[in-house]
Structure formats: C-alpha cells, structure tokens
Amino acid sequence: MARRRQIYEGKAKILYEGPEPGTLIQYFKDDATAFNAQKRGTISGKGVINNRISEHIFTALQTIGVPTHFIRRINMREQLIRQVEIIPIEVVVRNVAAGSLSKRLGIEEGTQLPRTIIEYYYKDDALGDPMIADEHIACFGWATQEEMNDIADMAIRVNDFLSGMFAAIGIRLIDFKLEFGRVWDGDYARVILADEISPDGCRLWDMKTNQKLDKDRFRQDLGGVEEAYQEVARRLGLLQPEDESAVLDFDSHRKKRGR
Ligand code: UDP
C-alpha cells in the first residue's frame, strides 16, 4: 500500500492527506505528554480508545446540531475528518476547580464552581500555551468577535451535553479542552469543532469515589492509566472485554505491514 503523505505530527496524533480534497486522516498514537511536553511516555492502547471515544462523542454532538470535523472512523486508530484552518486557541471549560485553576488561584481541587467558566489559551508550545483574554484574540486577529460568540455558544452546548452523558455513567465532568477550526464555503467561513474529545483532554472523576479516570493519572504518576481510559470506554459501552486483546492484535498486524 502506498504511504500517505503526512501533513502534520502532533504530540498524540498524526494527520495524513485524506482520500479527497478537503479531507484528512487523523491517526491516534499511544504517545502521551504533559507539562508542555516536559514529561513524555506511552499509554498502551490509548490511541485505539481515544479514537473510539472521540468518534462516539463527535457523532452524538452532530446529532444535537454541533458541527464537527468528524466524518467517519476508518479503523481502530484512524478517522476521516474535514480539513479545517485551526483557530490557534485552546478553549477550556470548567465546572469544578482543578489543575491550573486550583494552582493559580488557590482554590481547592474538587470545589464546585458557582458557574461554568470558559478560558482561552493561545496555542503556542514555545510560549507554553499562555492564558489569554478576549481582548488579545480580537487585537491579534486570531478569530473575529462573531467567531468567538459561536465558539462560546458551542462550548456551552458541548459542556451541557457531555455533563449529562458522563453523569449517566457515574462520571463527573470536571473540565475539558476544545479546539475549533474554520471551513470555507466560497467567501463565507464557518467555525466547527475539531481535534478530539477524550480522557487526554478532559478531567473525569468517578462520582462515588472521586477516582480520576483521565490523563491526570499519567501526569501525577498515579498508576492504572490504561485501565482508567478503558474504564471510560467500557462505561460508554464502547469496549467489550474481548476488545482489549483485539487492540494488541491490530497493532501487531500493522507492524507486520510496516505501518
Ligand atoms: N488541557 C488539554 N491540553 C492542554 C492543556 C489543558 O487538553 O494543553 C485540558 C486538561 O486535560 C484539563 C483542562 O484542559 O482537562 C484544563 O487544564 P488546566 O488548565 O487545568 O491545565 P493542566 O492542569 O492540565 O496543566
């Protein structure tokens, strides 16, 4: 099979040229990074699980009218997506204090916030993704005011939907990160949800025990990282017990084919 042209390699994903113009293939790796890539490792089977979880969530979001870049899953590690012009902003939605919010403002982890907070970070690894204000976004032209309104509306809708979806399986959605991209229709640009939604970019706590079921297990060396990702997939009904061995079979098959 001819090797596809690689467009971009990020920390957890690779983008390849897609089969048709305007499409890309998003490949999910097992690589994990934290603290602006100062900590690196692999979480075995993570790519397979994140591909599946992200497919599940993006498909569900599309059914409630949130436009996304997702077209369809191709295989265990790849999905077909629409090519977008990525808006260089990470949108963080918070329901409960944790992570950088707790550290920066001294608010104890686990404190329920009186209202949902949306924060913006400028996507720039060299600068360590600094937090920014609306004013910076307008001033430097990263997105228009209209686009920012659409982004905030979509972020709230995604939060409402995901909070309910996770609550139904005994998981508290603490916070999460979204990325958006622009698609062009002639001269008209539209913003759609891009990237992925998975335990890599969400904080997910078991409702009864407060056990962390997300990348904080990797960040904080808590152990049981693979199991936590599998648990989220299992509760979502995406992972049958036999699938765990299928993950390994798929990867060894790929290696034999030299991919
Ligand atoms: N997040 C992410 N990528 C980043 C930074 C944050 O996916 O580069 C997610 C993170 O997993 C968490 C939320 O955004 O669910 C808020 O992260 P926070 O600002 O607390 O930063 P962290 O503690 O992860 O450094």
Question: How far does the centroid of ligand 1 lie from the alpha carbon of residue 159, in Å?
Answer: 15
Give the integer Cα–Cα distance in Å for 175 and 60: 19
Looking at the structure, tell me whether residues 121 and 191 fall in a common domain.
Answer: yes
Domain annotation covers residue 176 = yes
Domain that holds residue 173: 85-206
pLDDT digits (tens, 9 = 90+) for 19-35: 999 999 999 999 999 99
Q: What is the pTM of this model?
A: 0.94
Looking at the structure, tell me whether residues 103 and 201 fall in a common domain.
Answer: yes
102 lines ligand 1 (CB under 6 A): no
Closest-lying ligand 1 atom to the alpha carbon of residue 201: 7
Give the pLDDT band of residue 14 (cuts 50, 70, 90). very high
pLDDT digits (tens, 9 = 90+) for 193-250: 999 999 999 999 999 999 999 999 999 999 999 999 999 999 999 987 666 555 555 5
Looking at the structure, tell me whether residues 95 and 79 fall in a common domain.
Answer: no
Q: What is the CATH number of the domain that holds 34?
A: 3.30.200.20
Question: How far does the centroid of ligand 1 lie from the alpha carbon of residue 174, in Å?
Answer: 11
Domain annotation covers residue 212 = no
Report the residue among 100, 104, 225 best suited for mutation to probe ligand 1: largest number of ligand atoms under 8 A from its CB: 100
Domain annotation covers residue 250 = no
Domain count of the fold of the chain: 2
Looking at the structure, tell me whether residues 10 and 61 fall in a common domain.
Answer: yes
120 lines ligand 1 (CB under 6 A): no
